[in-house]
Structures are given as structure tokens and as C-alpha cells.
Amino acid sequence: MPVNVGPDALIGEVVDGRYTVLERIAAGGMATVYRAVDTRLDRDVALKVMRPHLAHDESFVARFRREARAAARLSHPNIVSVFDQGEDRGRVFLAMEYVPGRTLRDVIEDDGPLSPDAALDILEPVLLALAEAHHQGGIIHRDVKPENVIIRDDGVVKVADFGLARAVTTETATSASSEVLGTLSYISPEQVEGGKGTPRSDVYAAGLLLFEMLTGRKAFEGDSIPHVIYQHIHHGVPTPSRVHPGIPPNVDSLVLQAAAKDPDDRPQDAAEFLAEVRHVRRLLGDGAREAASTSGPSGAQTSAPLATAVLPVHHDQPATAAALAANETQPYAVTRPPARAVRPAPRPVVAKPRKASAGARAIAAPPAAGKRRRRTGILAGLLALLAGAAAAGWYFLAGPGAPTTVPQLSNLTRAQAHAALETAHLDAKDVQAFSETVAKGVVISATPGEGASLRRGEDVTLTISKGKERYEVPVVAGITDKTALARLAARNLEGEVTRAYSDTVEKGRVVSSTPVAGTELKRGDKVTIVVSDGPQPIDVPTYRGMTLEEAQAAATAVGLTVAEGEQVYSTDVEQGRIVAQTPAEGQVVRGATITVQVSKGPEMVEVPSVFNLGEAKAVATLEAAGFAVKVEKFLGAPLDVCTGQTPGGGEQAPKGSTVTITIV
């Protein structure tokens, strides 16, 4: 039975005239969670009551209502249902589905690290819940972490608190430093840097969730918020198998894909990540089935379970709710049914002589007939012995223990082989293996082989062909080479990187693959990926002296663009031709724009008149107007008077040109 975790003034009160509070089951810096009874519908609910400092924040209350309404629209077996939200006497509350069990945080602390199969058992329903929110409700969770994943007592996995991370912002929750630190352990780099949360942000957190289940520790740990944030931005997620050896490479790849620092390198949403998880699970399942044959009692062959992940349910702990204040709930059990028990080989059964009762002997043996009694006893024993021998003979010669021979089974279909073994009174046990020569569904071999002598009812192991071992080339265009190589490795393919210039694909991302996506290859086959070096650089041409039209035609021929800038005066470049350009030299990429300045010719200005002025004043006047001055003196210029100038005063001349004056 649930246990109250401590005294609380709200216990026993009726919230909103409807919810009778029974006990407090979780408490955090943001909210307190209670088990309550909905008196209208007569059912238990989890009542999440926000802390007073949040209830008094009007902007928070508005966001809380909006996000709660959105979350209430979600309906999925792996999502904790939101029933109601409201405000009563200054208390902002949320009524949600009451879920008895444990959180994934408790499962990891009590039972972790988990096996890859057990971790994927839990991750798959988490991704189903996120995919439902992403595609049906358009909702981003924003706070995926072990405290928000609940495993019910019957093994059902539930995800809680959809949308509430958006309502309870970091600014409104700074008082709960430990909770903020816990949340930041799973926040994506783009969210840390102030970006908007997207489905890829939830995928990132799910990748860190998988890392923690596999290793038993967080990917990014620290004792301060800046320390954790720094790791998200500057450190890639560690490879799980380096922390906890023995994890398969394709499971490592799942974590590295989902938790890539660049959002574009991750699966685009939970549904795409779920497809990758299921693909890896199929690979793990195939490997487990091929390695699952062990010897049972009396030499009988038994099949090991493909995957049995049992996380104990602690019934002596308080049952909790899906409503998680600081996301504190208590976890549950995930179990997969054990493999079918294989019955052992039959043992010989010999009938034993039945003993006559004392009463029977008294009736059958009259007094004073000793010899007859002895003969009768001997005869009864002999008959019993004969009966036992007959039973044993029947068992070993014609019954279940009779000898039989393994028929020819190779190259038969599975159904044909099973029928042949049934005719021979033998049981079939199937294992699967790839084959390059035997068609899918056909027997490759049998153990024991053809002609072997067995007792009826014993097992014959059939190795059934899965067909040729082939792996589909994944889509890698547009992602980084590191992520592309990880995706190829997850498909048991080898990647080889080449580089090429590309005008359309960003530098460092994959342009194409050979063979193309969707092609089926053998294990270990090579896939060549072409990674972009960005646009090819081009030496900047010189367009000075050309007309604008000439420059534009020349630029188009090499993949550049010429744009006209401001026109300028020029005394050395004729009007209509290019005077200067930006950039003037160096290299640019294809598609770049060169800006040019076209000459307006020389600037024409009016020549001032300097007639009758002295030489010094005449020169100063002309230079102030922007002209150069040439002085010609007549007879030594004894009078120091200007008697002539060319061009004459009042005429137009190019600015900077030379005016000749005569001084007498």
C-alpha cells in the first residue's frame, strides 16, 4: 500500500471542490505531487500542485494552462494522461493519471547497467510516446530524462510531463538548482545556446537516456550548471562500450546518432530514431537466435531466450503517480516472457509388478494350501515380470522410446522438414543462419545428420536459411561524414570517404554515396561516400578598362556575377569603362559577386579668371579650383601681372587638368 512521505497541510483537503487529497507521494522545487480521489468519477488521480512562487507568476500561469491543454490532447498507451488543470485558492494544479510503479531513474540506480536488449525494451515505448507527440500533437517534450519515464507494475512504460518544460522555464525555476542541473544533463546543445526546441532535441535526450541505461551513469555529469552546459556544447557523447565493455557496435552507433551535437546529424524525429532502434533490435535478435543453442538435461538440446530483461518490482515501496514534481516517481518492472521450456528426452519406463493386498491374498489363498499358495505367488510374480518386460519391450520397440532414424532433411523447406521429422517420430528445433547458396526458408543442415539413430521424441536441430546476408545502404546524403560512417557501421557496412567540391552541399556534409541508398550489400562491403569541400574557389578576374556589359559576360562564363556599384569620375579611364572592383584580387567561390565602379569620365569645372593678378595669387586661385598651373614669364616678368590664360576664365575644363598663365 502507498505510504505517506511526510506531513502536509493539504492532506485531507478538497481541491477545486473535486479532488480529495489522500497523501503526498513526491515533492520537488517546482511542485508537490499527491495521490487524490476524483470524487466525481470515483478514481485515483495524481494531483500536481505548483509551488507558490510559480502560482504567483502570471506569465507562468498562462504558459502552464496553454501547455497543459496541449498535453491533454495526447492519447497514447505510453503517455501519462492529463485529465484536468485549474487554479483553486491560489494553487495552480494539474490532475493526471495515477501510475503505481517506479521511475527509470530508480531502475537504473537499483538494477543498472541494463543489458542492450533490456535498454532497448524500455527505449522503444519511450520513442513511441515521443513520436505520437511529435506527429499527432505537434508537441516537443523538452525534458526527456529518467525521472520522466515511468515503468508501471505490469511492465507498461509511460512518459510524463509533456510540454511542462516549456511552461516551467529556467527563469521561473532557479530555486530548484538540483532539478535544473538534472534537467540540463539531457538538454540538447542548441537548447543550451538559446535555440528553439525541436523533435531532434527530444531525440538527443533519448540518446542520452539510452547511454545511461547501458552504462549506469550519465553521459555528462558535473557539480555545477556551467560545467554541465560546457560539456554539452564542447564534448561529444562518449561511446557506451568504452564506459561499459561488451556493448555491440550497432548499439553504440544508436547512441552516437541520437546524441550528435549537430541537430542535422540526428534522426529528424522520434519516429525515425525508432526505425533505427528496431533495425538494430532485429540484428541483435538474429545474432541471439544463432548463438542460442545449449545442451539441456540428458543431452537434450534447449533454446536460450532471445532476450529476457527482468527488472524487479519492489512491492514494499510506495506506489507513485505519473505526476512528477521534480519528476520524482518510483519505477516499475519490464519483463519479457522466458523462452519455452524444452522437454527433455524421454526416459525408459518399466512397469513394476503390482503387489496384491493382504485382503486379496486372504481370499485367494484358502487355509492349508501352502504349496498352492507358493505356486500361485510364483505364477503371479512371473506374470508381473512378463508384463513388465512386455511394457518395456513395447516402449523401446514400438512405443515412445523406440529407435528411429533421422531422415534426409537438407534442401527441404522448413515445412517439409518438419513433416519428415514428424513421420520419423522426432521433434524439430529451428535455428536460423544466412546462406549464400541455400534459398531462404530451406534447410541448410540438420544435427544429428541424416541416418543418425535416435529414440522417438528426441530433438533434431534444423538450421534454416535466412537467405543471403544482405544489408541495405542507408540514406547518408546531407549528414556529416562521422554520422554517415556510424550509420554504415550499424548496417555492418564499411565506409570509405572521398572529397569533392560542391556548389549545393555545405562543406563537411555528404554529397552522395556509391552504391546509392537502398542497395543491398554483403556484410563488410564498401560504400564510398563523397563529402563536400564546399564550392570550388576561383581566382578573381580583373575587369578594369572593360565596359559593364563586357565584364558581366566574362563573369558569367566562369560562374561569377558582376554588379554595378557607384559611378565615379576618372581622368585616366574614359567614361563608361570600369575604374575599380571589389574584391580586386584573391579567390572567391563560384556564384560570388564582384562589385565594379564605372567611370563617369573627368569632372568638368569652371576655370576662374586670374587676369591682372600677380603670379602667386593667380596660381593659388587656380589650384584652389582644382587645376594644375603652368606659368610662362615674358621678359622676366618685371611687372608681375597675369596678362593671359589658357583655357580662359569662365570656360569648362576637366578638374585636375592644367591651366597655362602668362606673367609679364
Per residue in 57-85, pLDDT (tens digit) is 777 777 777 778 878 888 899 999 999 98
pLDDT tier for residue 386 given thresholds of 50, 70 and 90? low
Planar angle of CA 535, 536, 540, nearest 5 degrees? 115
Q: Going edge to edge, which strands form the sheet with 14-15?
A: 14-15, 19-27, 31-38, 43-50, 91-97, 82-88
The yes-or-no verdict on residue 272 having pLDDT over 60 is yes
Cβ-contact 561, 581 below 8 angstroms: no
What does the CA dihedral 64, 70, 71, 77 come to, rounded to 10 degrees? 170
- The pLDDT of 629-657, averaged and rounded, is 91
Query: Which residue, 66, 72, 70, 101, is CA-closest to 84?
Result: 72
Query: Which residue, 510, 444, 515, 513, is CA-closest to 478?
Result: 510
3-state secondary structure of 19: strand
Instruction: Report residue 354 CA to chain centroid gap.
Output: 70
* Rg of the chain over all Cα atoms, to the nearest angstrom: 44
The CA distance from 494 to 478, in Å, is 19
The CA distance from 66 to 71, in Å, is 9
The yes-or-no verdict on residue 660 having pLDDT over 80 is yes
Cβ-contact 351, 388 below 8 angstroms: yes
Percent of the chain whose pLDDT exceeds 70: 77
Q: State the DSSP string of 439-459.
A: -TTBEEEEES-TT-EEETT-E
3-state secondary structure of 135: helix
Pairing between β-strand 459-465 and β-strand 427-433 as defined by DSSP bridges: parallel
pLDDT tier for residue 391 given thresholds of 50, 70 and 90? low
Long-range contacts, stretch 354-362, CB < 8 angstroms, 24+ apart: 354/384, 356/380
The CA distance from 549 to 105, in Å, is 70
Cβ-contact 620, 630 below 8 angstroms: no
Pairing between β-strand 459-465 and β-strand 510-514 as defined by DSSP bridges: unpaired
Query: Which residue, 172, 178, 175, 165, is CA-closest to 55?
Result: 172
Catalytic site positions: 143
pLDDT of residue 189: 87
The CA distance from 164 to 160, in Å, is 9
The CA distance from 597 to 588, in Å, is 19
What does the CA dihedral 91, 95, 101, 107 come to, rounded to 10 degrees? -60
Domains of the chain: 14-97 (3.30.200.20), 102-290 (1.10.510.10), 404-465 (3.30.10.20), 474-532 (3.30.10.20), 537-598 (3.30.10.20), 604-663 (3.30.10.20)
pTM: 0.46
Amino acid (one-letter) located at 243: V
227 versus 586: the higher-pLDDT residue is: 586
Q: State the DSSP string of 598-634.
A: EB--PPEEEPPP-TT--HHHHHHHHHHTT-EEEEEES
Q: Cβ atoms within 10 A of the Cβ of 605, count? A: 15
pLDDT of residue 381: 52
Handedness of CA 140, 319, 93, 59 (dihedral sign): negative
Mean confidence (pLDDT) of the chain: 80
- The pLDDT of 5-17, averaged and rounded, is 78
Summarised one tens digit per residue, pLDDT across range 587-627 is 998 889 999 999 998 888 999 999 999 999 999 999 999 99
The CA distance from 591 to 537, in Å, is 10
The CA distance from 424 to 426, in Å, is 6
The yes-or-no verdict on residue 393 having pLDDT over 60 is no
The yes-or-no verdict on residue 315 having pLDDT over 60 is no
| Reduced 3-state DSSP string for 476-489 | CCCCEHHHHHHHHH
Query: Which residue, 219, 237, 208, 248, is CA-closest to 116?
Result: 248
What are the residues whose beta carbons fall under 8 Å from the beta carbon of 179, sequence distance 6 or more? 28, 29, 30, 173, 326, 327
Between the alpha carbon of residue 249 and those of residues 283, 306, 495, the distances in Å are 11, 18, 15
- The pLDDT of 434-449, averaged and rounded, is 94
Max distance between CA atoms of the chain, in angstroms, equals 192
> Helical H runs in 134-198?
164-167, 177-184, 189-192
The CA distance from 404 to 384, in Å, is 29
Burial class (CB in 10 A: 0-12, 13-18, 19+), 6: exposed
Instruction: Determine the length of the chain.
Output: 664
Summarised one tens digit per residue, pLDDT across range 112-141 is 899 999 999 999 999 999 999 998 767 888
pLDDT tier for residue 445 given thresholds of 50, 70 and 90? very high
